[in-house]
Structure 1
């Protein structure tokens, strides 16, 4: 059977470096992740069960600081990794065929901290996975992995070439595609129903593109106070995922 909605082959990239205890331990625990090297203080490395195949370099705090951007909080641990293997959208949709877990679709959300925070919320509320465009989403990086607090290793992340086509495939899998936007007339609670939901969110400022909105079944807004214009995309995702999880 032909696979649809797959992520294109990656171009050669540098090996990202992750830092911070949550991101590093999650990567070491993920059998799908290849860890190439690890640097750490003797204190931070003490007690860790590190496979013999991974080269270990003991380093002091100042040396570790030179391996990561700026004042990144490495907590005594830095690793170099290979990016995770591609995930096919069709395979992800098939995995969730018998349950009600939601999908999160991000339309050109490029900030790694926001995507990392969305991954964390997706894990907290047991989402099936997240879907982004290949060219308009951040690569795996230390800042993204730290923001995700280990969930980069556990939440399936599908990158697609054509988001509109992916949304069509999602509809074929019987998801109700709800686009969150402040100009919608109805609230999320009024439109989400009882079925499978794909939650679609756009970038801050620009919001969803018009073509993405036309590939949603329903547009909805969160019932926020008029004291603020909008929520950060990762905060909006967290609130919406909670609402979906808590529906009666």
Structure 2
């Protein structure tokens, strides 16, 4: 019933009521004042943005050679910041040739790993020397730790951790060609998802003077540790551009005066009669299974095929690109 003070919970037990606190107004004012403005994300040591900022500053200082001039890697990073895209994670690159070529090219390096009791040769001595001159962290680790870092890949006792790869925009490849004062030569990959094929294409592109490789942003291989390894260091010298839409990127290149030639088994002309070889040119290589997609094929000014024995159904993208680039280099010579 209302007003029944005998009901449980209707009255407060003696001695439980809190008394007034002296100076409560001051406490309330301090609570209202707060702790000041929230620091920027990059200024909070525990925040991922701060870690990215520190890594970028470290890369900026490490991106200069012993002469004090910006290295090729630093220049490519600056070009990527102009409007390129970045891969999302750090990569571990293993193998003496791949590591040495990356260091020679001035690619910013986060850490250099060397196996303990390593049997040294000229390459490992140069790796250690370049790392020491550039001030890169040099860690001696066990071979078991290197196996773990490289995910079981062949590392030959040395590996480096490189920051996210800086992709260029397709237009940047034309700027690279203009700086070399030669007709643009670009390799575009359509639906190639194996990073080892990308690495092989990069190696051939570096050998035959291509100005860069163009890959789509989705459903395509990127510059991963596998691509670095197969490229034997060419990934440090040959820029890779990423296009949101490969078909639209090819349209833009055609509008800029570049001819587009696709490689496909059912081509219009044999590779020995490759058209536009001495003109500004994009060679488009499709996947081994599906070949060129319909939309990409429609953007091609010509389709060339590589004559092969009937017993072999097709060539993989890395081999096909190498053969086609050799033919272009032969005609341009």
TM-score of the two chains, using structure 2 as the length reference: 0.67
Question: Is structure 2 residue 82 aligned with structure 1 residue 82?
Answer: no
Structure 2 CA distance for partners of 1:95 and 1:161, relative to 1, 3 Å: same
**Which of 229, 236, 241 pairs up with 2:313?**
229
2:101 maps to: 26
**Quick check: 1:108–1:137 contact (8 Å CA) kept in 2?**
yes
Q: Distance in 1 between matches of 2:209 and 2:331?
A: 14
Alignment of 1:1-248 (within 5 A): 9-10=85-86, 13-31=88-106, 33-42=107-116, 43=118, 44=120, 45-47=124-126, 48-49=128-129, 50-51=131-132, 53-70=135-152, 72-97=153-178, 98-193=181-276, 194-247=278-331
Q: CA shift at 1:228, angstroms? A: 1.4
User: Are 1:16 and 1:140, in contact at CA under 8 Å, matched by a contact in 2?
Assistant: no
Bigger-Rg structure (1/2): 2
- Structure-1 separation of matches of 2:250 and 2:114: 43
1:38 match: secondary structure:
strand
C-alpha contact (below 8 Å) 1:7/1:158 kept by paired residues: no
Structure 1 unaligned residues grouped into runs of 5+: 1-5
Structure number with the higher helix fraction is 2
TM-score between the two structures when normalised by the length of structure 1: 0.89
Structure 1: distance between partners of 2:156 and 2:199: 18
Render the CA deviation track for 1:4-46: whole Å, top value 9, x for unaligned.
xx866447x2311110011111222233x22111111253554
Tell which has more relative contact order, 1 or 2 (C-alpha 8 A, sep 6+). Answer: 1
For this pair of structures, how many residues does the alignment match? 240
- Runs of 4+ displaced beyond 3 Å: 6-11, 42-47
Mean Cα deviation higher: 38-47 or 105-114: 38-47
